[in-house]
Structure 1
Amino acid sequence: MSDRSSATITIGGRLTRESFLALAQAIADEGLSADWDGPWFTPADAVVGQPLRLKAREVAGGTFDELEAWCQDNGLPFVRWCGGYPGSWSPERVVFSGEGEPARYLADEDDEVLLDAFTVRELGSMAAIEAYFADAAFMVPPLVILDDGGGGDR
């Protein structure tokens, strides 16, 4: 059995209804819920004008590898947090803005981003440190489901 921890992921962006159903399946495959220990996510759980906020306990490796890859492949921004597992990994926050590669940040068990001495030296200036924290605080946009017929959004 692999090491496990609690984890959350917030997903936003724009996608078609067909893509949303594929996303919902990827979410179901991960066993995620809108609430801690709640029922598994269904498409009806999506709230208009809000990003998807999903949670799970006992997540292998603290990551949602297939779901995160699906979001990256489809350009959907997300922020994932996972708790640490002593002796294996520290808590982290991962930010994907919808482009490029996800950025990883050391965090605590409350999803507060932390800096270690190595990173402070690497960043080199207060302006760079402030930019680092600003990037880590990325706000995931609402999830918008486009009408496949081109007629509007949900």
Structure 2
Amino acid sequence: MADRVSVTFTLGGRISAADYEALASVIVAEGLSTEWDGPAFELSHRTEGEPLELFANGVAWGKVETLENFCADHGLAYHFWAGGFFAEWGAERIIYRGEGAPDSFIADESDRVLIDRGEVERRGSIEAVLAYFDAADFTVPPLVIEDEGDAAGKEVGHG
């Protein structure tokens, strides 16, 4: 039996209408909702002009790798938090800015970023430590659904 924890996942960026439908399928498969213990995700659950905020309790090992991979493949930024499980693993925040590699941060059960002595020593200065916290405070952009036939990126009214 899998160890299960709560997760939050906020994503944003630009995506085609067809890819948004594929994203919705991934979200449903991951068991995420726009509310804690809410209904299954539907296309209309997005709020126009906002990032998409998703929640779930009881996620096996706190992993939503299919969603993380989808976001990486489509250049969607995200802020992902997974709770810790007793002595097995600690809570974690992962930030992906839509390109490059995701950054992982030690967090607590309230998604507050923490730092340990080893990280402080690696950073070497208070300015570098503060930069660590700044990197963890990434603001996810709104999720914008583009009409595939419109090169200007006009939004499709799904919200």
Do the structures match in fold with TM over 0.5?
yes
Q: What is the TM-score of this pair, normalised by structure 2?
A: 0.94
Name the SS for the 1:35 alignment partner.
coil
Aligned residue type for 1:92:
E
TM-superposed deviation, 1:88: 1.1
Give the one of 140, 152, 155 matched to 1:153. 155
TM-superposed deviation, 1:61: 1.0
Name the SS for the 2:37 alignment partner.
coil
Name the SS for the 1:59 alignment partner.
strand
Give the Cα separation in 1 of the matches to 2:97 and 2:129. 19
Deviation string, structure 1 residues 95-124 (Cα, Å, up to 9, x no partner): 000111110000001100000001000111
Give the Cα separation in 1 of the matches to 2:105 and 2:49. 27
Name the SS for the 1:29 alignment partner.
helix
Question: Which residue is 1:48 aligned to?
Answer: 48
Question: Are residues 1:133 and 2:155 paired?
Answer: no
Name the SS for the 2:25 alignment partner.
helix
Give the Cα separation in 1 of the matches to 2:41 and 2:128. 38
Q: What is the TM-score of this pair, normalised by structure 1?
A: 0.97
Question: Are residues 1:12 and 2:9 paired?
Answer: no
Question: Which residue is 2:142 aligned to?
Answer: 142
Give the Cα separation in 2 of the matches to 1:40 and 1:114. 32
Question: Which residue is 1:93 aligned to?
Answer: 93
Give the Cα separation in 2 of the matches to 1:15 and 1:43. 13
Structure 1: 5+ residue runs without aligned partners?
none
Question: Which residue is 1:30 aligned to?
Answer: 30
Aligned residue type for 1:153:
E
Instruction: Detail structure 1 runs of 4+ shifted over 3 Å in the superposition.
Output: none
Name the SS for the 1:12 alignment partner.
strand
State, as a whole percentage, how many aligned pairs show the same letter. Answer: 45
Give the Cα separation in 1 of the matches to 2:99 and 2:129. 22
Give the Cα separation in 2 of the matches to 1:109 and 1:115. 14
Give the Cα separation in 1 of the matches to 2:69 and 2:17. 19
Question: Which residue is 1:107 aligned to?
Answer: 107
Give the Cα separation in 2 of the matches to 1:132 and 1:125. 11
TM-superposed deviation, 1:127: 1.3
RMSD between aligned residues: 0.9
Give the Cα separation in 2 of the matches to 1:41 and 1:52. 11
Structure 2: 5+ residue runs without aligned partners?
none
